[in-house]
C-alpha cells in the first residue's frame, strides 16, 4: 500500500476517499494531534476532507494548512508540537494521480516500520472511533510566513541580493520560493505561478523536456539562474544563466560540495553518478549510499557526521535544518551560491561521465533481480544489495533494480569513458537476459 513515497496512484482507482478515511482512522489510532495539507490537485480537497474526518473520528485534533508545499507541512509537525503530518499529494506525478505521504516530528517521512504499522491497521480495521463528544477538532492554521523566515535565516539576509531569478512554480504549491527569494533581496520573475492541479503550464515533474520555457526565458533575459519545482515543491531543479538545465548529479555535487567540509559524509542513493563521489573526494568528503527514495536518504542524513543528503531527482536535505526534502530552501541555498559565483562556473568544475539506462519488461522482476544477485557472485567487483544489485567495477559500475511501480527491471551503467559505459551496460543486460530465461522456464 505504502511505497517509499507514500500512497500514490490514479484517483478513483488506487486512491479514493474511502482509502483516505481509513488512513486517517489508522493514523488517528496512534496520534492526538496531526498537521495536514494538500497540493493544488482538485481531488485533494475531498481526499483531505476524508483524511481529516478519519482523524477526527479517532479523537485526533487536525491542524489544517490547506494548500501548502509538502516541506511546509513536514516542518510544521515540529513547530506545532504535533505527533505526525499528512500531505495529500502525488508530488511530480501527472494530474490524474494523487496520494498521501506521512511525516514524523523530525521532518522525516514515515520509515518502513511506521508505514507497515499503518498498513496493518488499515487491513485489520484496527481503530476505535470516538463518541460524539470525543471527536477531534479541525483548525485552520498558517505557517507559510514561518517557513519563509526559517529559509531566510538559514541562507542569511542579503546573501542573494541583486540576483535575478526566474522561478517556474509549475502550477504547484511552491510559490513560497518566490516569496523567500524576494525577502533575500532577489529580483524575482515567475512562470506558471497560479496553483492549478491540472498543471496547464507544463507537466508536474521538472525535467529538461518539461522546462523548456524556463530555460528559454532565463537565456533570453538578464536572469542569473532559473528554478523549477514539482507539484508539491519537495523537488528543485535548476537552469544556468545561459539556459542550460543542470543534470541532477551535477546539481547534487554542487550543493553537497558547499554543504560538506573535509571529514563529512554525504548521503546519496545507489544510482548516483561517479561524478558526485569524485567531486566530493577532492574535498575529502565521503559518500554514503542508500536505497533510492528520499526517506532512505533522510534516514542516513540523520546520522552524525552526515552534512547533506540528496537525490539526483531533485530532493535535497540539509539535516541541520530539516529532514524533509525542502525545494524552497534548496532554491534559496542555490541562489546564494550563484550570487558569489555563476552557477555555470560551479557546474563546470564537476567532471561528468557517460551513463546509460535501459529497462527490461517482465512480470517476474523480483525473481530476476534475485537471480542476478546470485550470478554476480562470480564477478570480480564490489557487490551491494541495498536496493537491487549494484556492482562496482572500479572505473565503472552497474545497477540492476526492480521498478517500484512498473513491471520492469531497470538497468543503469556508468563508466569514465563512453566505450566503458556501453560495455558495462551490455554486461548488465546479458546478466538480466540470462537470468530472465531461467526464471521463465
3-state secondary structure the chain: CCECCEEEEEECCCECHHHHHHHHHHHHCCCCEEEEEECCCCHHHHHHHHHHHHHHHCCCEEEEEEECCHHHHHHHHHHCCCCEEEEECCCCCCCCEEEEEEECCCCCECCHHHHHHHHHHHHHCCCCCCCHHHCCCEEECCCHHHHHHHHHHHHCCCCCCCCEEEEECCCCCCCHHHHHHHHCCCEEEEECCCCCCCCCCCCCCCCCCCCHHHHHHHHHCCCCEEEEECCCCCCEEEEECCCCECCHHHHHHHHHHHHCCCCCEEEEECCCCHHHHHHHHCCCCEEEEECCCHHHHHHHHCCCCEEEEEECCCEEECCCCCCCCCHHHHHHHHHHHHHHCCHHHHHHCCCCCCEEEEEEECCCHHHHHHHHHHHHHHCCCEEECCCCEEEECCCEEEEEEECCCCCEEEEEEEECCHHHHHHHHHHHHHHHHHHHHHHHC
Among residues 5, 58, 91, 273, which one is catalytic? 91
Bridge-based pairing of strands 315-317 and 306-311 is: antiparallel
Pairwise CA distance, residues 6 & 87, whole Å? 10
Rounded to 5°, the CA angle 236-238-242 comes to: 170
Identify the bridge partners of residue 164 per DSSP, sorted by sequence position. Answer: 187
Identify the bridge partners of residue 38 per DSSP, sorted by sequence position. Answer: 67, 88
Task: Find the helix packing angle between 274-281 and 248-259, rounded to 10°.
Answer: 20
Identify the bridge partners of residue 227 per DSSP, sorted by sequence position. Answer: 167, 238
Cβ-based neighbour number of residue 380 at 10 Å: 7
Q: Is 91 a catalytic residue?
A: yes
Active site residues: 91
Amino acid at each position: 500500500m505504502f511505497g517509499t513515497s507514500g500512497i500514490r496512484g490514479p484517483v478513483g482507482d488506487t486512491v479514493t476517499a474511502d482509502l483516505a478515511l481509513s488512513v486517517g482512522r489508522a493514523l488517528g489510532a496512534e496520534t492526538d494531534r496531526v498537521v495536514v495539507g494538500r497540493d493544488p490537485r482538485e481531488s485533494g480537497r475531498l481526499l483531505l476532507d476524508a483524511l481529516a474526518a478519519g482523524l477526527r473520528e479517532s479523537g485526533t485534533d487536525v491542524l489544517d494548512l490547506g494548500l501548502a508545499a509538502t516541506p511546509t507541512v513536514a516542518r510544521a509537525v515540529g513547530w506545532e508540537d504535533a505527533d505526525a503530518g499528512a500531505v495529500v499529494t502525488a508530488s511530480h506525478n501527472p494530474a490524474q494521480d494523487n496520494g498521501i505521504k506521512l511525516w514524523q516530528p523530525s521532518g522525516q517521512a514515515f520509515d518502513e516500520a511506521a508505514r507497515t504499522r499503518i498498513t496493518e491497521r488499515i487491513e485489520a480495521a484496527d481503530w476505535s472511533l470516538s463518541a460524539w463528544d470525543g471527536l477531534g477538532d479541525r483548525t485552520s492554521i498558517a505557517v507559510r510566513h514561518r517557513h519563509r523566515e526559517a529559509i531566510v535565516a538559514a541562507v542569511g539576509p542579503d546573501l542573494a541580493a541583486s540576483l535575478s531569478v526566474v522561478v517556474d512554480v509549475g502550477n504547484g504549491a511552491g510559490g513560497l520560493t518566490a516569496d523567500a527569494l524576494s525577502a533575500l533581496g532577489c529580483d524575482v520573475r515567475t512562470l506558471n505561478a497560479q496553483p492549478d492541479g491540472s498543471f496547464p503550464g507544463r507537466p508536474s515533474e521538472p525535467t529538461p523536456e518539461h522546462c523548456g520555457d524556463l530555460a528559454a526565458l532565463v537565456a533570453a533575459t538578464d536572469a542569473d539562474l532559473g528554478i523549477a519545482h514539482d507539484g508539491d515543491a519537495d523537488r528543485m531543479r535548476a537552469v544556468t544563466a545561459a539556459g542550460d538545465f543542470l543534470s541532477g548529479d551535477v546539481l547534487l555535487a554542487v550543493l553537497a560540495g558547499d554543504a560538506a567540509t573535509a571529514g563529512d559524509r554525504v548521503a546519496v542513493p545507489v544510482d548516483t553518478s561517479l561524478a558526485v563521489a569524485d567531486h566530493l573526494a577532492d574535498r575529502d568528503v565521503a559518500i554514503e549510499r542508500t536505497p533510492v527514495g528520499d526517506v532512505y536518504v533522510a534516514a542516513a542524513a540523520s546520522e552524525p557526521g552526515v552534512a547533506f543528503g540528496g537525490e539526483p531527482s531533485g530532493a535535497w536535505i540539509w539535516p541541520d535544518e530539516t529532514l524533509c526534502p525542502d525545494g524552497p530552501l534548496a532554491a534559496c541555498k542555490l541562489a546564494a551560491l550563484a550570487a558569489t559565483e555563476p552557477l555555470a562556473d560551479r557546474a563546470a568544475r564537476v567532471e561528468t561521465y557517460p551513463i546509460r539506462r535501459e529497462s527490461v519488461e517482465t512480470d517476474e522482476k523480483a525473481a530476476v533481480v534475485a537471480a542476478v544477485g546470485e550470478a554476480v557472485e562470480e564477478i570480480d567487483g564490489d557487490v551491494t544489495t541495498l536496493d537491487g544489485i549494484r556492482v562496482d567495477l572500479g572505473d565503472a559500475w552497474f545497477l540492476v533494480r526492480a521498478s517500484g511501480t512498473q513491471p520492469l527491471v531497470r538497468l543503469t551503467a556508468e563508466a569514465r569513458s563512453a566505450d566503458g559505459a556501453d560495455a558495462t551496460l551490455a554486461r548488465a543486460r546479458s546478466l538480466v537476459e540470462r537470468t530472465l530465461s531461467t526464471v521463465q522456464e
